[in-house]
Amino acid sequence: MEHPTAGAGPSETVNERKASFMEMALEEARKAESCGEVPIGAILVHDGEVLARAGNRTIADNDPTAHAEILVIRQACAKLGSQRLPDCDLYVTLEPCPMCAAAISFARIRRLYYGAADIKGGAVESGPRLYNQTICHHAPEVYSGISERQSAELLKFFFQSRRE
């Protein structure tokens, strides 16, 4: 089911807009990779405007919670002066882990778009499927597979190079 994305002009389709935001998330993932971080990137959007963007910074910040999703949620909350982001959409290159999926729920993010599935560590459509649990306070609309191939390849090559 397609949802209009605020800010998409008449000549720009909703799918083009989603692809554009996901490309920004991929740019953040590439930046993270260039710093030795696991290449995951996220973009948080409100009314068609990018509020926050980040890549993983767990190593740089010596912080196991410095996942891209957590970083953009923190930035957007600070920018909007609110702990809730109900009119915001999150674009992330990899299916969120349990920690990030919970933060997305607590922030009341409207829509989650992600690239590659994470069979081992994901918590949205893999693993615990947090948003299907009765303990979940808020479940965003979820759309997976956006730029899936690019997201998966970025991670695959990163981990391959670490093993060599």
Q: How many percent of the chain have pLDDT more than 70? A: 93
- With respect to residue 157, please indicate whether it lies within any of the assigned structural domains: no
d(CA 138, CA 102): 9
**67 marked ligand binding residue:** yes
What band does 67 get if pLDDT is binned at 50, 70 and 90?
very high
Would you say residue 80 lies in a domain?
yes
Residue 37 lies in a domain: yes
Residue 97, marked binder: yes
- Which residue range is the domain that position 62 belongs to? 21-148
13 found inside a domain: no
Determine the pLDDT at residue 13.
77
Residue 20 backbone phi and psi in degrees, to 5: -65, -45
- Give CA separation, 69 vs 8, 54, 56, 116, 160, in Å: 23, 8, 8, 14, 24
Q: What is the pLDDT of residues 21-35, one digit of tens each?
A: 999 999 999 999 999
pLDDT band at 107 (very low <50, low <70, confident <90, very high): very high
Question: What mean pLDDT do residues 66-86 have?
Answer: 98
3-class DSSP state of 60 = coil
CATH number at residue 86: 3.40.140.10
Q: Catalytic pick from 28, 33, 37, 69?
A: 69
Q: Quick one: CA torsion of 50, 78, 110, 8, rounded to 10 degrees?
A: -20
- Residues 137-159 pLDDT 10s: 999 999 999 999 999 999 999 99
Contacts of residue 114, defined as CB under 8 A and 6 or more positions apart, other chains included, come to 91, 92, 93, 94, 95, 96, 124, 142, 143, 144, 146, 151
β-strand partners of 112: 90, 142
- pLDDT of 103 > 80? The answer is yes
Distance separating alpha carbons of residues 9 and 29, to the nearest angstrom = 27
Q: Give dist(CA 22, CA 6) in Å, integer.
A: 16
Mean pLDDT rounded to a whole number for the chain: 92
Lowest mean pLDDT: which of 5-9, 34-38, 52-56?
5-9
In a domain, 4, yes or no: no
The answer to whether 35 is annotated as binding is: no
Give me the pLDDT at residue 123, please.
Answer: 98
Question: Is 155 a domain residue?
Answer: no
Whether 153 is in a domain gets the answer no
Cα dist. 137→23, 41, 92, 164 in Å?
A: 30, 25, 21, 43
pTM of the entire structure? 0.90
| Sheet (strand 111-116) strand order | 49-55, 41-46, 88-94, 111-116, 141-144
Residue 161 belongs to a domain: no
Is residue 23 annotated as part of the catalytic site, yes or no?
A: no
| Number of domains within the chain | 1
For residues 73-97, average pLDDT: 98
